Structure 1
Amino acid sequence: MKPQKKVLIDSRWAGNTGIGRLYQEVIKYAPDEASCAYVKSKMGLGSLLTPLMLGEEIKKSTADVFYSPSFMPPAFSKTPFIFTVHDLMHLFYYSRLHKIYYEQVIARLAPKAKKIITVSHFSKSQLVELLHIPEDLIRVIYNGVDSHFLANEEEYESARPYFLYVGNRRKNKNIPAMLTAFAKAKIPNEFMFYLSGKTDPELEALIVSLGIQKRVRFLGFIEEQDLPKLYKGAHATLFVSLMEGFGLPIIESMASGTPVLTSNTSALPEVAGGAALCVDPQNVTAIALGIEQLVNDEVFYVDCVAKGFQRAQEFNWEKTAAETWETILS
């Protein structure tokens, strides 16, 4: 049996988010040679003081290595540390303060890491080009897809066929363009567009102006156990973001046997691997034509189902966790 290593982990990221999902899966598959302890601070995830807090937590610990599933490294550490940068969205779609923080704090601390993990080759290229992090310091480890999506045979009960969007409301998600394209697409009016989360005044105004109030439904918060049947019941998933570091809904939908319309930019074609319909996210007409093709071209649709299901099986959380622990413990 290999000797145990003490690993201090930033557990504040546990929660119902993409990062939270990664954290849960990594912890679930922790090997015997990892003796895990956890950061005790309850400091908010968005606090700019997090690197200082992490430095203090590491100093107080007897850990051999520190691991964080997200982008905040410690400000100082004699202990080797590994952290994950999922994407560089903060440079493009957040506040100016976020941009400065990434460029002046994260970029300066990152080269001190033992290793930086990222979730796609697209994100790795951004880390190298935009933050000037040495390429050999970065390891790409893809996210996984839960076996529940592959095994599920239940469908969400809907009186009408529907397209599905799963995600938050951030600007990069491109929701106004998807709604506009849905309204513009020449498809039967019986088709609905279901979106996770709640609406907001801006989206409501857009929906009214497009005349699709009766064809759009916001589902609110979706429990993890309800996601597989929502994907399974959908005609297709729309995930036409302007930028993503990975894009979990792509492989979750594919694993459910549901085709995906996504973007031809950032990490999305990399994750789709030729098994989704990829379009220009800046072009509403292209998105609308993609929606039409998924409704009207049955041969293409069936091909997407088969290719997507096959592609999804190339991703699993156990592999993600194994590669992560290999990086932490090496």
Structure 2
Amino acid sequence: MKDKLKIVFVQAAGSITETGGFRVIAGYADRLQRRGHKVTLIAPEGAPPKPKTLKGKIRNLFRPKWKPQPVKTPPFLRNDDVEIKIVEGKGTLDAGDFPDADIVLATWWETAEWLENLAPDITKAHFVQGHEAFPYMPVERVHAVYRKPYRKIVVSEWLRTQMRDLYNHERAILVENTIDTDMFSPEHERAKNERPTVGFLYSVMTLKNSPLAIETCRRLREVYPDLRVISFGSHTPRPEDKMPDWVEFTTKPDPEDIAKIYRACDVWLFTSDSEGYGLPILEAMASGTPVVATPAGAAPQLVTDTNGAIISHDAASAVKATRKILDLPAVEWSKMSQSCLETARRRDWETATDEFEAALLRIVNGDRA
């Protein structure tokens, strides 16, 4: 029976970033390393794009030599002993690229394909933070990945249901997500703003449904002419999403600035059509901000009428729920803010790491069904 493991998290090219999904992986990597396990994060550097036409190939001869973006250690990966291994000049990984390991965890559908040729004595698992069978992906390959016999660790009850009902994985292990409540927390006792303020996360991914958040804010401005709207995201807003110029938008803010954005809001809008979990819900709540959310990911388990509202996928529903919170007397809003804090603090990183570590040991030590 092993009690200390050599653990490898496999990332796709360019995915060692400041995304919510990687924040979770980094959190486990930090803490598992501190507990005496050997943790490595591995990813291919990425390969230059290949021109598809003769004209493209000729044009490519006169372009500057392609260089991948340098990988920086993310600010929330706080343990210097966690090894980050970037395999140069490749967009995928082969068996020879992997370090010695007791368990290798795919973290994205494509990375699970790379595990097929690993030695049979290495345990393979799949850490599933989202159902990635998106229309713009090679859907049959994605489905095939989820059918592989690798043991699944999932972050929400919805994902456990998907793995069971769609892919016959009856024993996916649920380890619910958590967040850093030191980073995402009120600096002082929260109070309702004199100027009503609403925030949302912008994404170019259609499943995040950012246009719903934008339209909701547009309608709210008709009711509250002085409404302040704050947003952030990993990409500059696309023209087709029609981000108004009155939205205070920040591209790729530092984690500390993200926390400030949450704290500045009276209501946080979460408008996704589909999610594996939905970390912004917890991050906003940990900052004392009520959340108006569509029933995606873990929202049905996290959001109640004491800390926000669950809405349908339309602007009218979102506007009605948001107005109800914005119109609360200051004392009632503060009670809702306190309920948000209580929800976010029910689960801490050490508890989540206990469960994740137990899942890894359980899989490695023979429970692989």
What TM-score, normalized to structure 1?
A: 0.81
- Counterpart of 1:107 in structure 2 is 146
| Counterpart amino acid of residue 333 in structure 2 | Y
Is the 8 Å Cα contact of residues 29 and 322 (structure 1) preserved in structure 2?
no
- Counterpart of 1:169 in structure 2 is 204
| Counterpart amino acid of residue 288 in structure 2 | G
2:358 counterpart of 1:302: no
Residue in structure 2 matching 1:222, options 230, 244, 253: 253
Is the 8 Å Cα contact of residues 251 and 272 (structure 1) preserved in structure 2?
no
Is the 8 Å Cα contact of residues 52 and 75 (structure 1) preserved in structure 2?
no
Instruction: Report the structure, 1 or 2, having the larger helix content.
Output: 1
2:187 counterpart of 1:144: no
Q: Deviations over 1:293-320 (max 9, x none)?
A: 1211336533421221110001322322
| Counterpart amino acid of residue 140 in structure 2 | I
Q: Deviations over 1:120-168 (max 9, x none)?
A: 00111112222x13221x111111121222353399xx99542111242
Larger Rg: 2
Residue in structure 1 matching 2:45, options 42, 45, 52: 42
Residue in structure 1 matching 2:354, options 299, 312, 322: 322
Is the 8 Å Cα contact of residues 22 and 69 (structure 1) preserved in structure 2?
no
- Counterpart of 1:10 in structure 2 is 10
How many angstroms apart in 2 are the aligned matches of 1:253 and 1:3? 36
Residue 196 of structure 1 aligns to a residue in which SS? strand
What TM-score, normalized to structure 2?
A: 0.73
Cα offset, 1:180, TM superposition: 1.7
Cα offset, 1:259, TM superposition: 0.9
- Counterpart of 1:62 in structure 2 is 100
How many angstroms apart in 1 are the aligned matches of 2:9 and 2:188? 36
- CA spacing shift, 1:167–1:20, aligned 2, 3 Å: farther
Cα offset, 1:26, TM superposition: 1.0
- Counterpart of 2:281 in structure 1 is 250
How many angstroms apart in 2 are the aligned matches of 1:8 and 1:214? 44
- CA spacing shift, 1:33–1:54, aligned 2, 3 Å: farther
- CA spacing shift, 1:199–1:323, aligned 2, 3 Å: same
- CA spacing shift, 1:263–1:318, aligned 2, 3 Å: same
- CA spacing shift, 1:129–1:40, aligned 2, 3 Å: closer
- Counterpart of 2:126 in structure 1 is 83
| Counterpart amino acid of residue 75 in structure 1 | E
Aligned length: 304
- CA spacing shift, 1:276–1:181, aligned 2, 3 Å: same
Higher RCO (CA < 8 A, seq sep 6+): 1
How many angstroms apart in 1 are the aligned matches of 2:344 and 2:317? 25
- Give RMSD over aligned pairs: 2.9
Is the 8 Å Cα contact of residues 163 and 191 (structure 1) preserved in structure 2?
yes
How many angstroms apart in 2 are the aligned matches of 1:318 and 1:98? 37
Unaligned runs of 5+ in 1: 45-49, 208-212
- Counterpart of 1:178 in structure 2 is 213
- CA spacing shift, 1:8–1:148, aligned 2, 3 Å: closer
| Counterpart amino acid of residue 179 in structure 1 | I
2:243 counterpart of 1:200: no
Cα offset, 1:176, TM superposition: 1.4
Is the 8 Å Cα contact of residues 271 and 294 (structure 2) preserved in structure 1?
yes
How many angstroms apart in 1 are the aligned matches of 2:188 and 2:128? 34
| Counterpart amino acid of residue 65 in structure 1 | I
| Counterpart amino acid of residue 262 in structure 1 | A
| Counterpart amino acid of residue 270 in structure 1 | Q
Is the 8 Å Cα contact of residues 270 and 294 (structure 2) preserved in structure 1?
yes
Residue 138 of structure 2 aligns to a residue in which SS? helix
- CA spacing shift, 1:150–1:127, aligned 2, 3 Å: same
How many angstroms apart in 2 are the aligned matches of 1:265 and 1:135? 22
| Counterpart amino acid of residue 39 in structure 2 | C
The percent of aligned pairs where both chains have the same amino acid is 19
How many angstroms apart in 2 are the aligned matches of 1:144 and 1:322? 12
